[in-house]
Amino acid sequence: MNWRARPLVSYRVIVDLISATTTDTGLTVRCELDSADYPKGIVVSDQEMDGLNISRDAFHGEWNYTLQPNTSSVRALVSG
C-alpha cells in the first residue's frame, strides 16, 4: 500500500503513482519502467566512490544527494 492506501499491485500502478507526483512549487515528475536486465554483484571500489562528485544534503545525506559530472569527464566528452 502507498500513502494514499492504494494497493501497489503492479509496476504500472507504481510508475503511474510516481508520475502523478507534483508539488505546490511546480515540481513535476516523469517516470518510466526500465525492464532491462542488469548484472548483479558489481562492486564499486572506494577509489571509484571517492572520484564521484557528490554533494550530500544535511538531511539524510546517505539518501539525499546531488551527483554532478566531474569537470575532467565533461571536457573529455566535449573534446572527444
Neighbours of 53 (CB within 10 A): 11
In a domain, 62, yes or no: yes
pLDDT tens for 10-60 read 898 889 888 888 889 998 888 899 999 999 999 999 999 899 999 999 999
In a domain, 39, yes or no: no
In a domain, 38, yes or no: no
In a domain, 65, yes or no: yes
In a domain, 7, yes or no: yes
Q: Are 1 and 28 members of one domain?
A: yes
Taking the complete model, does pTM exceed 0.85, yes or no?
no
Cα–Cα distance, 32 to 26 (Å, whole number): 20
Cβ density class 34-50: b for 16+ within 10 Å, e for less: eeeeeeeeeeeeeeeee
Q: Are 27 and 1 members of one domain?
A: yes
Q: Which amino acid is at 28?
A: T
Range(s) of the domain holding residue 64: 44-75
Give the pLDDT of residue 59. Answer: 94
In a domain, 80, yes or no: no
Total tally of structural domains belonging to the chain = 2
